[in-house]
């Protein structure tokens, strides 16, 4: 009882400080629905010198400006398509690039590659937000902040055209990117394939330096199958938690270092040994959860166990440190 009262006291103190901070903050900033950003009133966006209208609120965290992805994509003539079932936004740019972003997923797909972002996309009122600078890079543009009028100046960048005395070396020097970076940005393997008249994209997204660890179709299939058996009737969040327990074990030296090894070792996953796993047919929600987990979305921290507290009894389970409970499962380490 003393412990509970202590927890309540801490919660009340935290709430009080939060309210105080909101009250003494700048009047031009309004708290956002998510816990990371605030609505930034008075901030405007210019594209190639002309102010553009953004219907949805512009948001800010520290020095970073966040805008609705679809709005910026549209301003730069890119086409976007929202998949509400998987909470994914697909963008097709005028440069021919394909970008796929998932809600709360730190890995984005850019053409054939997968890259890790410093900030994850998030939804507010059904709109996906991302930092403006990253979106500009992906859409072949640059951003400059103007303190004088509180404006983010977005500038589209035209491709560089190769001519006799203006090749990869000269373009690399002018735009401050290495030859290899420019080749990668343009999907080229060698400069020998570059002929006069070739148009080279010169804005190299910073995420190119952060390639995500690959996974195989077999990894995805196995992870989805065991997640289906263990939590097929749970919510997406519960399924995501189960998938992450498997991946957390792969990273933990106490367990095998592969998805297959984790699933087939030990006794936590009887379906792997009684034939149920082989017959498993993952539903759409489970497939999404498995893919998102492999792409770094984690809602259970470092949990390496999950169990139903109404079923699993005994000192082993009661001694675990429960991180969160989702649906019928507690996730612990």
Q: What is the DSSP letter of 211?
A: B
CB 257 within 8 A of CB 250: yes
Query: How far apart (Å, rounded) are the C-alpha atoms in residues 320 and 333?
Result: 6
Query: How far apart (Å, rounded) are the C-alpha atoms in residues 38 and 33?
Result: 8
Q: What is the DSSP letter of 159?
A: P
Please name the residues in contact with 162: beta carbons below 8 A apart, sequence gap of 6 or more.
168, 171, 194, 195, 196, 197, 198, 199, 200
Cα–Cα distance list, 319 to 313, 316, 333 (Å): 10, 5, 10
Beta-bridged to residue 29, according to DSSP, are: 40
Please name the residues in contact with 194: beta carbons below 8 A apart, sequence gap of 6 or more.
162, 167, 168, 188, 200
What pLDDT does 225 receive? 97
CB-side exposure of 116: number of CA atoms within 13 Å? 11
Query: How far apart (Å, rounded) are the C-alpha atoms in residues 36 and 68?
Result: 15
pLDDT exceeds 60 at position 22: no
Render pLDDT for 59-91 as a digit per residue (tens, 0 to 9). 998 889 999 999 999 999 999 999 999 999 999
Domains of the chain: 26-154 (3.30.457.10), 158-209 (3.10.350.10), 217-332 (1.10.10.2520)
CB 89 within 8 A of CB 79: no
Render pLDDT for 208-263 as a digit per residue (tens, 0 to 9). 999 999 999 999 999 999 999 999 999 999 999 999 999 999 999 999 999 999 99
Average pLDDT over residues 3-18: 41
Average pLDDT over residues 288-305: 98
What pLDDT does 234 receive? 97
Query: How far apart (Å, rounded) are the C-alpha atoms in residues 51 and 58?
Result: 14
Query: How far apart (Å, rounded) are the C-alpha atoms in residues 131 and 60?
Result: 9
Render pLDDT for 38-63 as a digit per residue (tens, 0 to 9). 998 889 999 999 999 999 999 998 88
pLDDT exceeds 80 at position 16: no
CB-side exposure of 16: number of CA atoms within 13 Å? 6
Query: How far apart (Å, rounded) are the C-alpha atoms in residues 304 and 319?
Result: 14
Query: How far apart (Å, rounded) are the C-alpha atoms in residues 87 and 80?
Result: 13
Average pLDDT over residues 168-175: 96
272-305 b/e with 16+ CB inside 10 Å = b?
beeebbeebebeebbbbbbbbbbbbbbbbeebbb
CB 325 within 8 A of CB 297: no
Q: Which helix (H) or strand (E) holds 45?
A: strand 44-47
């Amino acid at each position: 009882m003393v412990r509970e009262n202590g927890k309540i006291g801490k919660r009340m103190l935290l709430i009080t400080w939060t309210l105080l901070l909101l009250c003494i903050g700048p009047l031009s900033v309004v708290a956002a629905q998510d816990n990371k950003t605030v609505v930034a009133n008075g901030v405007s966006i210019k594209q190639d010198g002309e102010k553009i209208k953004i219907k949805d609120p512009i948001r800010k965290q520290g020095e970073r400006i966040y805008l609705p992805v679809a709005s910026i994509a549209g301003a730069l003539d890119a086409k976007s398509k929202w998949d509400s079932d998987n909470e994914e936004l697909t963008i097709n740019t005028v440069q021919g690039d394909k970008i796929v972003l998932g809600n709360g997923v730190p890995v984005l797909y850019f053409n054939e590659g997968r890259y890790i972002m410093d900030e994850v996309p998030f939804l507010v009122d059904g709109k996906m937000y991302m930092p403006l600078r990253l979106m500009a890079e992906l859409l072949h543009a640059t951003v400059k902040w103007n303190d004088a009028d509180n404006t983010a100046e977005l500038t589209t960048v035209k491709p560089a055209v190769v001519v006799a005395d203006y090749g990869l070396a000269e373009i690399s020097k002018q735009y401050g990117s290495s030859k290899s970076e420019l080749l990668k940005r343009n999907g080229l393997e060698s400069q020998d394939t570059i002929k006069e008249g070739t148009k080279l994209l010169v804005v190299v997204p910073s995420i190119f330096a952060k390639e995500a660890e690959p996974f195989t179709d077999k990894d995805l299939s196995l992870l989805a199958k065991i997640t289906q058996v263990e939590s097929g009737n749970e919510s997406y969040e519960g399924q995501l938690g189960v998938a992450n327990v498997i991946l957390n074990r792969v990273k933990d030296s106490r367990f095998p270092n592969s998805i297959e090894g984790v699933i087939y070792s030990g006794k936590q996953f009887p379906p792997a040994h009684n034939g149920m796993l082989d017959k498993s047919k993952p539903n759409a929600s489970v497939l999404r959860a498995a893919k998102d987990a492999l792409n770094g979305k984690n809602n259970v921290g470092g949990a390496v166990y999950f169990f139903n507290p109404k079923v699993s009894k005994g000192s082993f389970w009661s001694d675990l440190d429960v991180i969160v409970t989702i649906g019928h499962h507690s996730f612990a380490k």
